[in-house]
Amino acid sequence: MKFAIMINEGPYTHQATDSAYLFARAALAKGHEVTRVFFYHDGVNNATRLTVPPADDRHIVNRWSELAKAHDLDLVVCIAAAQRRGLMDENEAKRQGKDANNIAPGFRISGLGQLVEAGIQSDRLVVFGD
């Protein structure tokens, strides 16, 4: 089965991110395909490379980056939601006249069309968070 995943909540503020990560990992372990993980609303905060959790806590951003690398996952961050929250890749930072970027490895910024496409190409779109 092909799954697309949408995450609407930020890390460390809601169970949605951890549940989505565990769902994706379990689906991949069972041989299913995850066509895309789309981060929307506060969910875009899962993509910042500047997250520094305490040493005894899980590092959610790194978990997503590592899972993406291991399984060639497409981690897409909504550009409009990212801009509102100060999250930018190198190209967007240049376009907006900013002097830095803060997107974590494995994530990319794109538009809502990527969510629509993922829903069309997948058997199920699973949404985590409000």
Catalytic residue among 24, 47, 78, 81: 78
State the Cα–Cα distance between residues 98 and 93, nearest whole angstrom.
5
Task: Give the pLDDT confidence score for residue 93 in this predicted structure.
Answer: 93
Domains and CATH numbers, the chain: 2-128 (3.40.1260.10)
User: What mean pLDDT comes out for the span 3-23?
Assistant: 96
Tell how far CA 116 is from the center of its chain. 15
| Integer angstrom CA distances of residue 117 from 16, 104, 120 | 22, 23, 5
- CB of 39 closer than 8 Å to CB of 78: yes
User: What region does 129 belong to: left with phi over 0, alpha with psi -120 to 50, or beta?
Assistant: left
**pLDDT bracket for residue 43 (50, 70, 90):** very high
- 72 among known catalytic residues: no
pLDDT, position 47: 98
Provide, for the chain, the percentages of residues in helix, strand and coil under a 3-state DSSP scheme, each rounded to the nearest 5. Answer: 40, 20, 35
Q: Which helix (H) or strand (E) holds 114?
A: helix 113-121
**pLDDT tens string 53-110:** 999 999 999 999 999 999 999 999 999 999 999 999 999 999 999 999 999 999 999 9
For position 7, what pLDDT does the model report?
98
pLDDT of residue 17: 97
Question: What is the residue-averaged pLDDT of the chain?
Answer: 96
Query: Half-sphere exposure (CA, 13 Å, Cβ side) for 40?
Result: 17
